Amino acid sequence: MTKQPVLVLGPLMPYLLAELEKRYAIEKLYEEKDALKFLQENAGRFRAAVTSTFTGITADMIDLLPQVEIISSFGVGTDSLDVAYANTKGIRVANTPDVLNEDTANMALLLLLASTRDLVKNDRFVREGRWAKGENAPLASGIEGKRVGLVGLGRIGSVIAQKLLAFGCDVAYHTRNKKPDAPYTYYENLVELARDSAALIAILPGGDATQGVISREVLKALGPDGTFVNVARGTVVDEVALVELLQSGELGRAGLDVFADEPKVPEALFKLDNVVLQPHMGSATEETRRAMADRVVTNLEGYFAEKP
Ligand code: NDP
């Protein structure tokens, strides 16, 4: 049987490429010297395209793929995918939710603990020989018994909440709609949640609708003893305000996995001891990335098998 042609828009992990290759005749747009020319000559052959949250897909690109019926994306975030435009053209867009909940939640907890306990700063303290010379590292900050505010309480936020309970935290949250089944304190007002919390964890989608939701006012309300953790998207926070407030001490600490203009990170953060930085690693374990890859494949297989 001839294999169905599938267009891969951007780089993918080798395991996923291999799984796709077993089933489909894949062609890699990102390896074409002249991608536009390639599309003009070949786009009509592809009923399916594979992308990722890192590569995304714009309305212009969708227009260049007139026969595509399904776009299968690696990742749960849809902020880099023009889903609304795809839907106007009757194109299905599939992502990889749920399988990354635990690892992304673990990253949130890691960043919360690492920043409040000065883990990276104290690692440097030991390596620089300061402990050996008799210096004492300053006391850090605990989280037990303290209120931690979640901005977003969906698939991943709910898992973070459960894990926070195991650390003895008092969980509260802010979303646009109160979750009737959630046993946590709801705040309609985000500034009030920040004011009442020792730490705020962002775990809501990116995109225009959430741009700068974590504003300067919210960060100021969190205050000099507060910690901000972002495992959502860099765009959800006013990054300029975040850097300034961390520099001035008006915000205590931060643990950041995501940034507004990745892979660029504001250089001012490199000099700060009160920040722990990660290169967007929330879902980046061998196990979870494979599970996400399997979802990309099953989403395509399901579509071609006419399953929901
Ligand atoms: P869900 O769609 O399950 O949950 C999103 C939550 O955000 C909902 O509770 C929603 O509630 C809330 N929300 C949406 N808009 C707003 C808003 N304007 N203000 C406050 N709350 C809002 O998503 P997931 O939990 O699966 O994933 C969340 C995001 O995490 C992804 O979109 C992705 O960007 C990011 N992510 C990051 C990873 C990383 O590597 N760092 C890995 C995986 C995901 P309501 O609609 O009631 O407002």
**Among all residues, which ones are annotated catalytic?**
233, 262, 280
Q: Are 233 and 205 in contact (CB under 8 A)?
A: yes
My answer on whether 213 and 267 are in the same domain is: yes
- Distance in Å, CA 108 to ligand 1 centroid: 13
pLDDT reading at 207 higher than 90:
yes
Q: Are 145 and 165 in contact (CB under 8 A)?
A: no
Within a domain: 247: yes
Question: What would the mean pLDDT of 5-18 be, rounded to a whole number?
Answer: 98
My answer on whether 50 and 163 are in the same domain is: no
d(CA 4, CA 229): 43
Q: Are 257 and 235 in contact (CB under 8 A)?
A: no
My answer on whether 131 and 173 are in the same domain is: yes
pLDDT reading at 308 higher than 80:
no
Question: What would the mean pLDDT of 92-109 be, rounded to a whole number?
Answer: 98
Radius of gyration (Cα) for the chain, nearest Å? 22
pLDDT reading at 293 higher than 90:
yes
What percent of the chain is predicted at pLDDT more than 70?
A: 100
User: Which protein residue's CA is at the shortest distance from atom 39 of ligand 1?
Assistant: 282
Q: Can you give the pLDDT at residue 72?
A: 98
Q: What is the pLDDT of residues 67-88, one digit of tens each?
A: 999 999 999 999 999 999 999 9
Question: What would the mean pLDDT of 3-27 be, rounded to a whole number?
Answer: 98
Within a domain: 282: no
Within a domain: 229: yes
Domain CATH number, residue 136: 3.40.50.720
pLDDT reading at 224 higher than 90:
yes
pLDDT reading at 14 higher than 90:
yes
d(CA 240, CA 211): 13
Question: What would the mean pLDDT of 171-184 be, rounded to a whole number?
Answer: 98
Cβ–ligand 1 distance for 104 under 6 Å, the answer: yes
pLDDT reading at 1 higher than 90:
no
My answer on whether 33 and 113 are in the same domain is: no
Within a domain: 245: yes
Q: Among 59, 4, 56, 60, which residue's Cα sits nearest to residue 30? A: 56
My answer on whether 133 and 267 are in the same domain is: yes
Q: Can you give the pLDDT at residue 150?
A: 99
d(CA 28, CA 20): 12
Question: What would the mean pLDDT of 53-62 be, rounded to a whole number?
Answer: 98
Q: What is the pLDDT of residues 243-282, one digit of tens each?
A: 999 999 999 999 999 999 999 999 999 999 999 999 999 9
Q: Are 147 and 223 in contact (CB under 8 A)?
A: no
Within a domain: 126: yes
List Cβ neighbours of 110 (8 Å cut-off, separation of 6 or more). Answer: 255
My answer on whether 91 and 110 are in the same domain is: no
My answer on whether 122 and 209 are in the same domain is: yes
- Distance in Å, CA 304 to ligand 1 centroid: 29
My answer on whether 155 and 254 are in the same domain is: yes
Cβ–ligand 1 distance for 152 under 6 Å, the answer: yes
Q: Among 41, 55, 1, which residue's Cα sits nearest to residue 25? A: 1
- Distance in Å, CA 112 to ligand 1 centroid: 18
- Distance in Å, CA 32 to ligand 1 centroid: 34
Within a domain: 252: yes
Bridging pattern class, strands 227-230 and 170-174: unpaired
My answer on whether 257 and 300 are in the same domain is: no
Residue 100, judged by CB atoms within 10 A of its CB (0-12, 13-18, 19+), counts as buried
ipTM: 0.99
CA of 100, closest atom in ligand 1: 43
Ligand 1 pocket, mutate which of 106, 175, 193, 258 (most atoms under 8 A from CB): 175
The band of 302, judged by pLDDT with boundaries at 50, 70 and 90, is: very high
* 3-state secondary structure string across the chain: CCCCEEEECCCCCHHHHHHHHHHCEEEEHHHCCCHHHHHHHHHHHCCEEEEECCCCECHHHHHCCCCCCEEEEECCCCCCECHHHHHHCCCEEECCCCCCHHHHHHHHHHHHHHHHCCHHHHHHHHHCCCCCCCCCCCCCCCCCCCEEEEECCCHHHHHHHHHHHHCCCEEEEECCCCCCCCCCEECCCHHHHHHHCCEEEECCCCCHHHCCCECHHHHHHHCCCCEEEECCCHHHECHHHHHHHHHHCCCCEEEECCCCECCECCHHHHHCCCEEECCCCCCCCHHHHHHHHHHHHHHHHHHHCCCC
My answer on whether 12 and 136 are in the same domain is: no
The total number of structural domains that make up the chain: 2
d(CA 217, CA 221): 6
Question: What would the mean pLDDT of 296-302 be, rounded to a whole number?
Answer: 97
Within a domain: 47: yes
Within a domain: 167: yes
Q: Can you give the pLDDT at residue 132?
A: 98
My answer on whether 119 and 262 are in the same domain is: yes
What percent of the chain is predicted at pLDDT more than 90?
A: 99
d(CA 228, CA 194): 9
The pTM score is 0.97
Host domain of residue 146: 100-277
Question: What would the mean pLDDT of 190-209 be, rounded to a whole number?
Answer: 98
My answer on whether 83 and 137 are in the same domain is: no
Six token digits for residue 253: 């600490």
Taking all residues of the chain, what is their mean pLDDT, rounded to a whole number? 98
